[in-house]
Structure 1
Amino acid sequence: MTDARPVRIGTRGSALALWQARHIRDELMTEHPGLEVELEIITTEGDRVQDRPLHEIGGKGLFVRAIEQRLLDGTVDVAVHSMKDLPAFGPPGLMIACTPPREDPRDALVGPAGATLATLPAGSRVGTGSLRRGALARRINPGVEIVPIRGNVPTRMGKVDAGELDAVLLAAAGLRRLEQAARIVEYLDPDAFCPAPAQGILALQCREDDARIRGLLAALADDDATLASAAERGFVQRLQAGCTVPMGCHATRVGDEVVLYGLVVHPSAAPCFEARRRGPADRAAALGRSLAEELLAAGADRVLAALATTSPG
């Protein structure tokens, strides 16, 4: 290695974000012996505003814009994001250079031992910050009360421990990465509770013109995660919808093909438009877009139009 400059990783300061950034730091140092990697904690607007749901204040992009600006101005070299937090299209000059192996994409229920979402008693208070999770929970168990919550993973689980909530819905990936999988009482089947697009996938973002960083990150890429992210983000990009729209998409590789399941659901749980597609793996992004087209033609466009008035713009 001829360039001895340290690689600077920009990250949020939450426990999960730090785990992810440290994991990528360690992987880079393993793949490139002698490489120095530094972490820089960046506070985003999403971290500062904690008293309102994300869909009311600008969506998940609030967690990435400040970090992307630091990439653009050259003060950090790499950003480690949860890919599901990224807007459908990034700013000019930046790219997703690498998608490492995917963690468990499923959603998970944290609550009383032996509980399942379907069998929670009527009136049970279930916390989530996701319109998608809330809508799908209502479809499985119309009797539960969905309580909007914000905060990091430990904060959300703490509301169950304190008796403020009966259960919370979280991404299994975050719980597993924080060594909290023992708190999961039910993994939600992706065929019945469709995950968020790219859930469990990390996106390593850098400047398009930074050939050195792109080369370093290439060693961490995973083919299956790259395929899944292409299909699922193709779905999101065609819908051109953010977190104001409850939507899910889940891709799995089967040999040389990709199997894709997607849905758009109203926050009230109805109507719900869902479909499945299967096609060549080398056309994953196009398959995601065509699946979104199918849902739009079936009526999902009406859900998007109705919810557009609630978007902060």
Structure 2
Amino acid sequence: MRTVVVGTRRSELALTQTQWVMDHLQPSLPEGWELKQERIVTKGDQILHVTLSKVGGKGLFVKEIEQALLDKRIDLAVHSMKDMPGQMPTGLTMGAVTRREDPRDCLLSREGLTLDQLPAGARVGTSSLRRQSQILALRPDLVVEPVRGNLNTRYRKLMDGQFEAIVLAYAGIVRMGWEEKVTEILEPATMLPAVGQGALAVQCRSDDHDLLEYLQVLNDPETERSVTAERSFLHSFDGGCHLPIAGYAVNRPDGIHLRGMVAHPSGNPVLSAEESGDNSREIGKRLARRLLDQGAGVLLEEIRKGIQS
């Protein structure tokens, strides 16, 4: 007999994702094992008046949950992979990487206009420096403004007229069943996704060997290979998932193909490069070195100083 406590954020999307994991895990557990959900409020959920980059980035959505794992208040945690910092605390491990949903971003527009069709001066809501830099690289005449809160809150702000459009991860839209609200899906050539976007991270303690074994039913090897390359790339830049860094890997017959980007929040400059190969971690490191040779390190240091000031 064992009760496995599953930690999650309280947002509707987080609860939907966690329930999906629980529904797919339960049939593989031994008789007498049951799953119980515990909802945890993270610092990122509480601080809504400033952008993530100003208060420490998206690690704010996982820190309290990871501490609950370390304290053995919970046994399992479900995160959006794109919220995971490049480094994990000692004692914790990624028990599974779920099959990736659509990794692309999407645009929701109040008037049904695409990114190209939005008028000059239109307000676009996003708190992601990654999205901001790519929007402004394409449309420097738009005004990008921060929008925080869960999906329902962001959509309400759009419809209330605070923005002409907002940009969100399409995977979250699909999980919420909101596909009809989407005006335009943004291809990676237009908007390179966040590292890990579309996948879920199932995290547990490194020494929980029984649970780790059962979690394999949730793991998708192809997604794991892609996400490992992307996270290796991110980790090479000191794990700053709140910085304007993007990385997207796909599995091809000849190996893994990874495209990465580091950009200034203003949209200029945008540094990008590509790498291919068989070793996920090495591909990520090689791509990071290529961008560092282009000046990504200096650019990121400038951005960090700007955020802190």
TM-score (norm 1): 0.95
Query: What CA deviation, in whole Å up to 9, does each residue of 1:129-163 have, x standing for no partner?
Result: 10111110111112111011100011111112111
Matched, 1:139 2:137: yes
- Distance in 2 of aligned mates of 1:116 and 1:241: 32
| Secondary structure, aligned partner of 2:101 | coil
User: Quick one: which of 215, 226, 229 aligns to 1:228?
Assistant: 226
| Secondary structure, aligned partner of 1:268 | coil
The one-letter amino acid of 1:16's match is: L
User: Quick one: which of 158, 166, 169 aligns to 2:167?
Assistant: 169
Q: 1:94·1:207 contact (CA, 8 Å) conserved in 2?
A: yes
Q: Which segment drifts farther, 100-109 or 110-119?
A: 110-119
- Residues 245, 183 of structure 1: CA spacing in aligned structure 2 closer, same or farther, 3 A cutoff? same
- Distance in 2 of aligned mates of 1:150 and 1:110: 15
Query: What is the aligned partner in structure 1 of residue 100 from structure 2?
Result: 102
Q: 2:102·2:198 contact (CA, 8 Å) conserved in 1?
A: yes
Q: 1:56·1:310 contact (CA, 8 Å) conserved in 2?
A: no
List runs of 5+ in structure 1 lacking aligned partners. Answer: none
Query: What is the aligned partner in structure 2 of residue 17 from structure 1?
Result: 14
Q: CA deviation at 1:42?
A: 0.5
Query: What is the aligned partner in structure 1 of residue 303 from structure 2?
Result: 307
Query: What CA deviation, in whole Å up to 9, does each residue of 1:67-94 have, x standing for no partner?
Result: 0011001110001011111111011000
The one-letter amino acid of 1:97's match is: G
Query: What is the aligned partner in structure 1 of residue 5 from structure 2?
Result: 8
Q: Which runs of 4+ in 1 moved over 4 A?
A: none
Q: Which segment drifts farther, 135-144 or 28-37?
A: 28-37
Query: What is the aligned partner in structure 2 of residue 48 from structure 1?
Result: 46
The one-letter amino acid of 1:265's match is: A
Query: What CA deviation, in whole Å up to 9, does each residue of 1:105-151 have, x standing for no partner?
Result: 00000014642112211011100010111110111112111011100
Aligned pair count? 308
Q: 2:234·2:241 contact (CA, 8 Å) conserved in 1?
A: no
| Secondary structure, aligned partner of 2:88 | coil
Query: What is the aligned partner in structure 2 of residue 185 from structure 1?
Result: 183
- Distance in 2 of aligned mates of 1:311 and 1:160: 26
| Secondary structure, aligned partner of 1:25 | helix
- Aligned-pair Cα RMSD in Å: 1.4
Query: What is the aligned partner in structure 2 of residue 39 from structure 1?
Result: 37
- Distance in 2 of aligned mates of 1:216 and 1:106: 30
Query: What is the aligned partner in structure 2 of residue 292 from structure 1?
Result: 288
Q: Provide the identity percentage.
A: 41
| Secondary structure, aligned partner of 2:294 | helix
Query: What is the aligned partner in structure 2 of residue 253 from structure 1?
Result: 251
- Distance in 2 of aligned mates of 1:49 and 1:57: 8
Q: CA deviation at 1:192?
A: 2.2
